[in-house]
Amino acid sequence: MQKDKPRVLTEAVTQLKELRKNVAQQLELSSLFIPSENDVVIINYCDNINDERTVKTTICCEDRPSLNRDLSSAIQSVQGRVIKAEMATVGGRTKAELVVVLGKANGGEKDVGQLKRALKAVVENRALGFGSNVMLGRRFG
C-alpha cells in the first residue's frame, strides 16, 4: 500500500497540472470578458486610421459611480475620442476595452504616455482632475 501512495500522488499532481493547462487554454479561446482582480492599464498600438494614431486601452479596476466620467475626462485630456468601447462589471470590478483615436496632431509617444498616466490616475482613483470629488481642478461637494 505504501508503494502506491507516491504513484497516486504523482498521478494526481500530473492530472492537476493538465487540468490547469486546459483551463488556461479555454480562457484564452473563450470570448469571456471578465474583470481581473488586479488593477490594470494596458495600451496597445493599432493601425493608424486616416493618419490618426489609434490605440486600444484595457483598464481593470474597482467599479465606482464616477468611473465612466473619469475615463472620459482622461481621454479628453489628450484630445482623444473613443470609437469603440466594451465594458463589463462583475463583483464590484470593471473591465473596459476602449479603442481611442488620438488625432493627427496627437498620437506621438508623448501623447500616449500622457494618456497612460491619466488612465492610471483613474484606475488608482487619484484626485488629479479625474477623481469622484475633483473635476478639472474644481471641488464639487
Domain 40-132: CATH superfamily, name plus number:
ACT domain (3.30.70.260)
What is the pLDDT averaged over residues 51-55?
84
pLDDT tens figures, 94-129: 999 999 998 766 557 788 899 999 999 999 986 444
Q: Per-residue confidence at 29, pLDDT binned at 50, 70, 90?
A: low
Query: Residues 65-85: what's their mean pLDDT?
Result: 93
Q: When comparing pLDDT for 139 and 44, which is higher? A: 44
135: nearest Cα among 72, 91, 81, 90: 72
pTM of the model: 0.65
The residues spanned by each domain of the chain are 1-31, 40-132
Task: State the Cα–Cα distance between residues 105 and 140, nearest whole angstrom.
Answer: 32
